[in-house]
Chains A and B, each alone.
Chain A
């Protein structure tokens, strides 16, 4: 039986939450959404949970056919890694467009230096999460765009908080990485082997 989950008209992160909930009970799910952000977020989560995603745009919505093709390795391997005391994903959390407190101009230079240097030192983070004013670093005109694009090219996942982009009216200006939601962000932080929070 294929479970149908109608998420049309639902705001993020509801489509992700409802789809994930169904995954514990079903092997085949069709989630219907009505916006691109939901397609991206649900597809990403489904991939992590071991589901293949087939996207079909119809007149009345975007149909995501999800079929389990493997176990959900992410959660298991992460908790296993933590139990072993070894390393899970390395996550860098950037909650501001400056580094440190005291002088804004200096803070701005420091964060730019930091992100530039991430391309030259080891280890390369698995994910960088941008929150609050930090999302300003991921949009058009950002002075670190080139650095972030290089990092993304190396496989670093770049997540920008959608609520924050919305708050600063920058949602359509994002130029690197993906618009994310607190559900994914919380999972990324909690599932990390190590979080480096600026």
Chain B
């Protein structure tokens, strides 16, 4: 997965990021918790990286599980 095809979900808390990672992995999305890149910022230090093509699917997964995120950004 090239960096340019990646997006990240930003969260307001670490626990939300952890929940999001668990849910996404259970649904076999290729995601990875990484530190929030320096040029972005969020209240929480980690974010969930995913394939940009899967952003919409992950977004609805998080919505249906009521995990709140702050923002989605393309890397």
Contact = CB atoms under 8 A, between A and B. Distances in A.
A and B interact: yes
- Main secondary structure on chain B at its contact with chain A? strand
Nearest to B25: A143
B34 A113 contact: yes
Nearest to B34: A116
A106 to B, nearest CB: 7
B33 interface: yes
Chain A interface bracket (under 10, 10 to 19, 20 to 34, 35 or more): under 10
Contact of B46 (A113, A143, A146): A113
Nearest to B1: A146
Given A113-B45, A113-B46, A105 B18 contact: yes
A145 to B, nearest CB: 11
A117 interface: yes
B32 interface: yes
A109 B18 contact: yes
B46 A109 contact: yes
Contact of A117 (B17, B18, B32, B35): B35
B40 to A, nearest CB: 14
Interface string A96-126: 0000000001100100110011000000000
Given A109-B14, A109-B17, A116-B32, 13 more contacts: A105-B18, A106-B14, A109-B18, A109-B33, A109-B46, A112-B33, A113-B33, A113-B35, A116-B34, A116-B35, A143-B32, A143-B33, A146-B32
Interface of B: 14, 17-18, 32-35, 45-46
Interface of A: 105-106, 109, 112-113, 116-117, 143, 146
